[in-house]
């Protein structure tokens, strides 16, 4: 379907540069960016609609952000402690995936 959009010159210039850098047509880039934006909106709405997910949102890069209350353990941990906990969980997950007993 063809349509005409009146977009700011700077935005079109940036999209053209990005399309060239990524080796694709402007038409394809615009279609993919619009699709990603619509999918992100739908994913955010779908996530918010899941039971028990009222504390989960997606940031501007579509990563989940989990908000916790002021008395949650994580709210009282340092960044170093949180990173250590995450690394330990990832190690345990990798070991389980490899069939190595913990």
Question: Structure pTM?
Answer: 0.41
Separation CA 98–CA 64 (nearest Å): 26
Containing domain of residue 93, as a range? 68-102
26 and 50 in a single domain? The answer is yes
Residue 17: which pLDDT band, with cuts at 50, 70 and 90? very high
Q: Examine the pLDDT at 10 and tell me if it is beyond 70.
A: yes
Per-residue pLDDT of 36-89, as tens digits, reads 888 876 655 554 444 556 667 777 777 777 777 778 787 788 888 888 888 998
Distances (CA, A) of 101 to 10, 26, 85, 92: 56, 51, 19, 9
Secondary element (H or E) of residue 89: helix 79-97
Q: Which two tokens stand for residue 76?
A: 């009282």
5 and 37 in a single domain? The answer is yes
pLDDT for 54 equals 67
pLDDT for 83 equals 87
Reduced to 3 states, what is the DSSP secondary structure of residue 55?
A: coil
56 and 92 in a single domain? The answer is no
pLDDT for 1 equals 81
């Amino acid at each position: 379907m063809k349509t005409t959009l009146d977009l700011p010159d700077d935005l079109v210039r940036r999209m053209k540069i990005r399309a060239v850098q990524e080796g694709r047509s402007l038409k394809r880039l615009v279609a993919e960016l619009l699709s990603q934006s619509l999918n992100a909106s739908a994913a955010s709405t779908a996530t918010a609609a899941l039971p028990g997910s009222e504390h989960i949102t997606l940031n501007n890069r579509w990563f989940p952000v989990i908000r916790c209350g002021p008395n949650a353990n994580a709210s009282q941990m340092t960044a170093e402690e949180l990173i250590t906990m995450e690394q330990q969980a990832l190690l345990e997950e990798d070991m389980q995936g490899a069939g190595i007993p913990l």
